[in-house]
Amino acid sequence: MVVHDTRRTSSGTAAVSTLGLLGRWRRRERDRARVLRPVDPIPAAIAVRLILDNENEPLFPQLKRFGRGRPGVTQEEAERWVIRDERSRVVGGAKVGWVGDDHPVALDVAVDPARQGEGWASRLYTALEEAGIDVEAGADASLAHRLMTRDGYAFMRARRLRQDPEAEARIIATANICPGCGPLD
């Protein structure tokens, strides 16, 4: 159900709130973006390394507990980063685990399923990079240690393909190599 905020102006004509129109436009654009998101098959060499999301302890509900706050990316705890929309609602975030000085960080990223495909994870990655976190090495380590989900791989692949058309071949060739530990299995 759509509620319109219609008010009479001094001349007696009806005026529809631009906030209501803007909200409908954003929902339509979000839905359009979601429909157009391609789902490419995942190569078998990669699929065997991926895990299902942790159904017993999913990350997004943990992030939502931080509640409303400043829009954008904020570090809420030592290992927890949250991204909020323009209305100050949590739409996603990351758990950044430090494994050791000689090892890349372990990244676990989650975005509200209803808001995926809107660029939230990309904005989060940019903020993490600006904070000095090597997200690409973290992604490589997650894949090598079999800690990456299908959504995580799809995001990593899309992100890298924007820069390098041969990115997927490079990912496959190094899928079992952790930047900190070296070759695994």
The parent domain of residue 92 ranges over: 41-183
Asked if residue 1 belongs to a domain, the reply is no
pLDDT, one tens digit per residue, over 27-53 is 665 555 444 455 689 999 999 999 987
Residues 108 and 47 in one domain: yes
Is residue 95 domain-shared with residue 61, that is, in the same domain? yes
Q: Are residues 47 and 30 in the same domain?
A: no
Looking at the structure, do residues 72 and 24 belong to the same domain, yes or no? no
Q: Say whether both 81 and 171 belong to one domain.
A: yes
CATH for 102: 3.40.630
- CA 167 – CA 104 distance, rounded (Å): 20
- Note whether 141 and 162 are same-domain residues: yes
Per-residue pLDDT of the chain (185 residues; tens, 9 = 90+): 344 444 444 555 444 444 455 566 566 655 554 444 556 899 999 999 999 877 778 899 999 999 999 999 999 999 999 999 999 999 999 999 887 777 888 888 999 999 998 999 999 999 999 999 999 999 999 999 998 999 899 999 999 999 999 999 999 999 999 998 899 97
Q: Is 13 contained in some domain?
A: yes
Shared domain for 102 and 143, answered yes or no, is yes
State how many domains the chain has.
2
Task: Judge if 59 and 138 occupy the same domain.
Answer: yes
